[in-house]
Structure 1
Amino acid sequence: MKSMKYLYAILLMLSLVNCSKDAINPNAEVEKNTLNDVVRDNFGLTYLATALYKSGLNKMLMQDGSYTLLAPSDDAYKAAGYQNPAVVYAEPTGKLVEQGNYHILKNVVLFTGKDLKMNQEEETVLGTKVYWSRVKRGKDTLTTINGGRLLQADTKAANGVMQVLDRLLVPNVHGNLKQALAANADLSLFYQALKVSGLLESLADTTNYTVFAPNNMAIKQLGYPDLEAIQKADPVGLKKLLSYHIAKERKFAQDYFLLTPDGTTSYTETMLNEKTLTINLLGQYNVPNSFTGITIKGTGNSWALTPLRMDVLAGNGVIHVMGQTLQQ
């Protein structure tokens, strides 16, 4: 019942917002079509319209400027766990402000005809960066932002441009991977193991990495039940184990898909210890260039492992959280 009240309230507020431009001067000719107008007039962006209204960022998108709005579709919000716009409206305002600012770029970025590149950075209003990749794969040109697929490109407005995504982006708030790992309680044993092995500080430098981070349960299954056990462990042995969980360069899950030729179903990744593992690419049967995720198989694993979480972003790389360790 409470969620229904929220929903009714949101629908009322959105209807008022939709009328606000004409209500100010109903006889005036419409001179602008701002990014806020573009969002509110799109039936597939009702969750985003709700988030912008609750956070107050809709006012920014009414002003003069040169913005790029990264607009998660309604399906993107649903995939992130929001059952309806009322759930979005119930979120703390501060969270929606941070989230919204991360979806707005400080300048206009157009993708039609853009060069084919990987992991190019753009600064957000939040002050941290997003990363776009654009590749030709078969007959299609694919564009991703933070590993999410661009669905609709370059919808222009008076004060910028809108790019519609299939993913709600999680704000990048950590300067480096060391900080991102420390902030995740379920990776505390992995963090401590990195520290004992001598690998942790390398994740705080300017080199980009991809980290397949085993969660606490996975580390316990190796025979390290707590922090004390890890502190007593052999640093050389830990380094041998953990260096097989780190690769150079930032790779979102979908980047592995972008880096392979059309029709390819796997990617061979070289880890810090120079050994390789296999990234299996998942997609919908008979749907060209579809991508639904990855599985990872070390040379010593009996079967491929599915990440628990993918694309946890930090300033110098990305983390994929694993429920088991990679065996070499």
Structure 2
Amino acid sequence: MSTLFSSCKHVDTPVAVTHTITDILVVNNSFTFLRAAVQRAGMTDMLRTGTYTVFAPTDDAFRAAGYADVAAINQLPVAAVTALVQYHVIDKSVPASAIQGGQTVGLQTLLPANGMVYISKVNNYLSANGHLVTTSDVAADNGVMHVVSAVLSPPNADAISTILSDPQNFSLLAAAVQRAGAGLLTVLQSTTAATIFAPTNEAFIASGYTPSAIAGANPAALQRLLNYHLLPGRYFSNQFINGQTPKTVLGSTIRMNVSGSSVSITALGDTTTAATVVRPDILSTNAVIHRIDRVLIPPP
């Protein structure tokens, strides 16, 4: 066991030394925020018993999520902290070996409503909701911990509700979906997993799709355009591979361009300028939404 996850105590005579999930959190000062959250939620004793998997954000992950210090955790309502911790805990042991390479698996957390977390394995690295697991399989007597690089957020409602909830970026996309008709709405409200490349309002306007143009557009043409922005299945940004050519719901392919953490998409109908993913991995219950800065033009 590494020094990061060292023994809870040192003694000179043989005694039963426990290494429960709670014990690890208590002695490891990389998790002071998570420790405080578990304590405020009243889950300290629970995580000493039973069998669990915990996706454990480090203190740096909490700070990146906007929590200034442990006091910020302790000032939150107990119900909010409880929901936060519940979403990071699964009531069974899920080691990294349980997830197949290239696979995305939805696992129910202790959070009752919208509590699915999506675990992927890419190049032998785990991710949770698209966030890298920096250390996997930290063994505890009552389960396993995976150290994750971000505080995880539960999925929003279905894809169309998520789009409608962000009019600053997606009001024109929402209008286009409505104009395209019931067929596309049914897809975006279904339980079938999808990936959506969602152009911003500015992207639509730059391509000539002003509010009046969308209102007067042929619904079938809009549905064809929007189907070119959909992939069947749930794909987080770190699952895309440079040069990959996934087939869209329209049936035509797009080309993924990946450089480090940057992802862009080349459309067959516009190969001169790629659409950049400006905000990846917006999670809804039935889709992963990637905000892009250009409309993808399908082939004729």
Name the TM tier (shorter chain): 0.7 to 0.9
TM-score of the superposed pair, with normalisation by structure 1:
0.74
SS in 2 for 1:61: helix
Aligned to 1:282: 259
Aligned to 2:121: 134
Among residues 95, 100, 107, which one is paired with 2:92 in the alignment? 107
Cα gap change, 1:86 to 1:282, in 2 (>3 Å) = farther
Q: Does 1:294 align with 2:263?
A: yes
Q: Is the 8 A contact 1:191 1:200 kept in 2?
A: no
Among residues 266, 270, 286, which one is paired with 2:247 in the alignment? 270
Aligned to 1:153: 136
The within-5 A match list for 1:1-150 is: 32-58=18-44, 60-62=46-48, 64-82=49-67, 84-89=69-74, 93-112=78-97, 115-116=100-101, 118-127=103-112, 128-135=115-122, 137=123, 141-150=124-133
Cα gap change, 1:133 to 1:76, in 2 (>3 Å) = same
SS in 1 for 2:126: strand
Shift of 1:61: 2.5
Q: Does 1:238 align with 2:222?
A: yes
Counterpart residue identity of residue 239, structure 1: Q
Counterpart-to-counterpart distance in 2, 1:39 and 1:105: 16
Cα gap change, 1:320 to 1:89, in 2 (>3 Å) = farther
SS in 1 for 2:22: helix
User: Which range moves more in the overlay, 247-256 or 52-61?
Assistant: 52-61
Q: Is the 8 A contact 2:126 2:136 kept in 1?
A: no
Q: Is the 8 A contact 1:72 1:164 kept in 2?
A: yes
Counterpart-to-counterpart distance in 2, 1:298 and 1:83: 42
Shift of 1:218: 2.2
Shift of 1:248: 1.1
Q: Is the 8 A contact 2:99 2:120 kept in 1?
A: no
Shift of 1:90: 5.2
User: Which range moves more in the overlay, 159-168 or 228-237?
Assistant: 228-237
Aligned to 1:213: 198
SS in 2 for 1:306: strand
Q: Is the 8 A contact 1:301 1:326 kept in 2?
A: no
Counterpart residue identity of residue 95, structure 2: L
Among residues 155, 159, 173, which one is paired with 1:177 in the alignment? 159
Counterpart-to-counterpart distance in 2, 1:282 and 1:90: 40
Q: Is the 8 A contact 1:152 1:163 kept in 2?
A: yes
Q: Is the 8 A contact 1:195 1:201 kept in 2?
A: no
Counterpart-to-counterpart distance in 2, 1:322 and 1:91: 34
Cα gap change, 1:308 to 1:116, in 2 (>3 Å) = closer
SS in 2 for 1:297: strand
Cα gap change, 1:84 to 1:327, in 2 (>3 Å) = farther
Residues 71-116 of structure 1, C-alpha deviations (whole Å, 9 max, x = no match): 1223333444445545555555544333322111121111247544
Among residues 296, 300, 313, which one is paired with 2:283 in the alignment? 313
Shift of 1:53: 3.7
Cα gap change, 1:59 to 1:187, in 2 (>3 Å) = farther
Return 5+ residue gaps in structure 2 as ranges: 1-7, 10-14
RMSD over equivalenced CA pairs, Å: 2.8
Shift of 1:327: 2.7
Among residues 210, 228, 233, which one is paired with 1:249 in the alignment? 233
Residues 130-157 of structure 1, C-alpha deviations (whole Å, 9 max, x = no match): 222235x4xxx22222222222222232
Cα gap change, 1:74 to 1:282, in 2 (>3 Å) = farther
Q: Is the 8 A contact 1:254 1:293 kept in 2?
A: no
Higher helix share: 1
Aligned to 1:222: 207
Q: Does 1:322 align with 2:299?
A: no
Paired residues in the alignment total 280
Counterpart-to-counterpart distance in 2, 1:51 and 1:294: 34
